[in-house]
A = this chain, B = another copy of it.
Amino acid sequence: MAEADIDDLPRNEANHTALTPLWFLDRAALVHPNRLSVVHGSRRFTWAETYRRCRRFASALHSRSIGHGKTVAVIAPNIPAIYEAHFGIPMAGAVLNTINIRLNAATIAFLLGHSSASVVIVDQEFFTLAEEALKIIADEKKAAFKPPILIVVGDETCDPSSLKYAIGKGAIEYEKFLGSGDPDFAWKPPKDEWHSIALGYTSGTTSSPKGVVLHHRGAYLMALSCALIWNMTEGAIYLWTLPMFHCNGWCYAWTLAALCGTSICLRQVTPKAVYSAIAHQGVSYFCAAPVVLNSIVNAPPSDTILPLPRVVNVNTAGAAPPPSLLADMTKLGFRVTHTYGLSETFGPSVLCAWKPEWDQLPLDERTRLHSRQGVRYVGLEGLDVVNLKTMEPVPADGATLGEIVMRGNLVMKGYLKNPKANAETFAGGWYHSGDIGVKHPDGYIEVKDRAKDIIISGGENISSLEVESLMYMHPAILEVSVVARPDEQWGESPCAFVTLKDGVDSSNEQALAESIIKFCRAKMPAYWVPKSVVFGPLPKTATGKIKKNELREKAKAMGPVKKSRL
């Protein structure tokens, strides 16, 4: 027998097919045709209906020559149409480009131009925004402008006038568009699982947004990983608090189909709406950035339904949750899974895998362990913290800072039309997250800061995140963000921007600032203590991340900290 005989059995049609989450929809419609797939107010769809609607969707695109290599943009909150887009668009072979509804027209114009979207599907509430964005492109490109097919999604919870306006402007009504498609359309999986399924733009807080391109293979694997790491069970009822336009809802749009589960849509995320869905719709799972959890923890009692009627699992990522927030959520009865990732890794791909033996520890210790980002998902093959210069792994000492890097099947294909960024981001055979962290002796990693958020004071690195975590213990602080402010003596020093809790007396800002600084002195090394404290609301991105770049600009505009102040 020759050396490799046992590998002489090639792939064929029977034993190899492209991995794609589209198979999950086909299966859900077969296995649980009558189970609820998507619920939005009084609208309820079953899996049989969702499958037929998605096939109509794909067929309607196909008949308009939208297929492989084409991009379809969707501008919508968490309504059924954006869920359907996660299947209907790739079933036609095209790429789904979800767009953040909170961007301004100029940015959306940039994105639609960059992605060359052939179709734009827009929720009626955001029609004028899309219209404005397209006008900007038209004005810029002049005769070269080929307007995309424009589809407007009506929603009974919105004012009918905006739908009427959109149709008057020539947009095709979404239901009519679906009606033009064949509900039995014979969709095909992609020829290659490496084909693109989705394109999403980074929030671009510091530079032009970059287009993250995701592949069918990774979407399939992430969808399964998402279920496994969270112990999600078949038929799970999931609340859409996390926008689907944000990294495809961390791929849960596809996970729900794999589990034949039910999606509860939510146009507006408020603590009251979240609690109501838990009370009335059987919700057991939702994902949310820490900012949303913060609002849940601080909701007025009349908006809550405590104690919770069942275990409610929360997956939080998007920013490092302050330890106090994890503790508060746990006290309310939520089971919080702390995860970490980026759009470039299909959403969170690292989790603080909980160990049953930790249950016996005091709350403080549990919270300390819980606030670490942790270990790779089942579907991610490599995760490490490496020296920024040598790329050697840092020692697992919980102290040495390095860059967090990932590798494996949950890493994006790359950035669209951006070879320079791709070369940098994939240097040395790893995806470079741009996040700074440490590795603990037990192998769990912990994010210390975004590389660009690190404050360098007198040559020492200060993690803005760690300063914030300690400041969150102050009873008057609702939200805090710490950034570098130029400093005559030390180069940079920490500057804190603070939002106070309701009811805190803020008549004497200076006294309050001094009390906070005093509080900090008792909690942290002297060089970490913010030299200035500024009160007011914090600027946020569409997904609730604090815009540190704006705060840095503000701190810079305040001028350098004078030597004399010391």
Complex: how many Å from CA A64 to CA B177? Answer: 65
Complex: how many Å from CA A68 to CA B13? Answer: 25
Complex: how many Å from CA A229 to CA B234? Answer: 8
Q: Is A416 an interface residue (CB 8 A)?
A: yes
Complex: how many Å from CA A422 to CA B12? Answer: 11
Protomer copies? 2
Q: Which of B1, B23, B378, B443 contacts A258 (CB 8 A)?
A: B378
Complex: how many Å from CA A213 to CA B235? Answer: 34
Nearest chain B residue, comparing its CB with the CB of A23 = B381
- Chain B CB within 10 A, most for which of A213, A409, A426: A409
Looking at the assembled complex, report how far the CB atom of A200 sits from the nearest CB atom of chain B, in whole angstroms. 12
Complex: how many Å from CA A224 to CA B218? Answer: 15
Complex: how many Å from CA A7 to CA B71? Answer: 11
Q: Which of B6, B30, B408 contacts A17 (CB 8 A)?
A: B408
Q: Is A201 an interface residue (CB 8 A)?
A: no
Q: Is A429 an interface residue (CB 8 A)?
A: yes
By a CB distance below 8 angstroms, the chain B residues around A431 are: 14-15
Is A95 a contact partner of B6 (Cβ separation < 8 A)?
yes
Q: Is A19 an interface residue (CB 8 A)?
A: yes
Q: Which of B6, B17, B227 contacts A71 (CB 8 A)?
A: B6
Query: Quick one: CB contact mask for A213-250 with B, threshold 8 Å, 1 for yes?
Result: 10000100100100111010111000000000000000
Nearest chain B residue, comparing its CB with the CB of A211 = B6
By a CB distance below 8 angstroms, the chain B residues around A11 are: 194
Complex: how many Å from CA A378 to CA B27? Answer: 7
Is B224 a contact partner of A13 (Cβ separation < 8 A)?
no
Residues of chain A from 28 to 68 with CB closer than 8 A to chain B in the complex? 30-32, 68
By a CB distance below 8 angstroms, the chain B residues around A426 are: 12-15
Is A429 a contact partner of B6 (Cβ separation < 8 A)?
no
Nearest chain B residue, comparing its CB with the CB of A28 = B378
Complex: how many Å from CA A411 to CA B10? Answer: 12
By a CB distance below 8 angstroms, the chain B residues around A32 are: 353, 355
By a CB distance below 8 angstroms, the chain B residues around A378 are: 24, 27, 224, 258
- Taking residues whose C-beta sits less than 8 angstroms from the other chain, chain A's interface range is 35 or more
Residues of chain A from 359 to 396 with CB closer than 8 A to chain B in the complex? 375-376, 378, 381-382
Complex: how many Å from CA A231 to CA B222? Answer: 17
Is B213 a contact partner of A407 (Cβ separation < 8 A)?
no
By a CB distance below 8 angstroms, the chain B residues around A356 are: 235
Looking at the assembled complex, report how far the CB atom of A310 sits from the nearest CB atom of chain B, in whole angstroms. 16
Looking at the assembled complex, report how far the CB atom of A459 sits from the nearest CB atom of chain B, in whole angstroms. 32
- On whether A412 and B381 interact (CB within 8 A), knowing A71-B6, A228-B258, the answer reads no
Is A213 a contact partner of B4 (Cβ separation < 8 A)?
no
Looking at the assembled complex, report how far the CB atom of A238 sits from the nearest CB atom of chain B, in whole angstroms. 16
Complex: how many Å from CA A488 to CA B258? Answer: 54
By a CB distance below 8 angstroms, the chain B residues around A229 are: 234
Complex: how many Å from CA A416 to CA B116? Answer: 49
Q: Is A16 an interface residue (CB 8 A)?
A: yes
By a CB distance below 8 angstroms, the chain B residues around A412 are: 15
Looking at the assembled complex, report how far the CB atom of A398 sits from the nearest CB atom of chain B, in whole angstroms. 16
Query: Quick one: CB contact mask for A240-279 with B, threshold 8 Å, 1 for yes?
Result: 0000000000000000001100000000000000000000
Is A413 a contact partner of B228 (Cβ separation < 8 A)?
no
A-to-B contact residues, CB < 8 Å? 1-7, 9, 11-17, 19, 23-24, 27, 30-32, 68-71, 95, 116, 189, 194-196, 199, 213, 218, 221, 224, 227-229, 231, 233-235, 258-259, 353, 355-356, 375-376, 378, 381-382, 406-409, 411-414, 416-417, 422, 426, 429-431, 443
Task: Please list 25 pairs of residues, one from A and one from B, whose beta carbons are closer than 8 Å in the complex, sorted by A's number.
Answer: A3-B70, A4-B69, A5-B116, A5-B416, A6-B95, A6-B196, A6-B213, A7-B68, A7-B194, A11-B194, A13-B426, A14-B411, A14-B426, A15-B407, A15-B408, A17-B382, A19-B221, A27-B375, A27-B378, A30-B375, A31-B443, A32-B355, A224-B228, A228-B228, A231-B234
Known pairs A12-B429, A31-B375, A231-B234 / 18 extra A-B pairs, C-beta < 8 Å? A1-B417, A3-B70, A6-B69, A6-B196, A6-B213, A6-B416, A9-B213, A9-B413, A9-B422, A14-B407, A15-B408, A15-B412, A19-B221, A19-B409, A24-B378, A31-B443, A32-B355, A224-B378
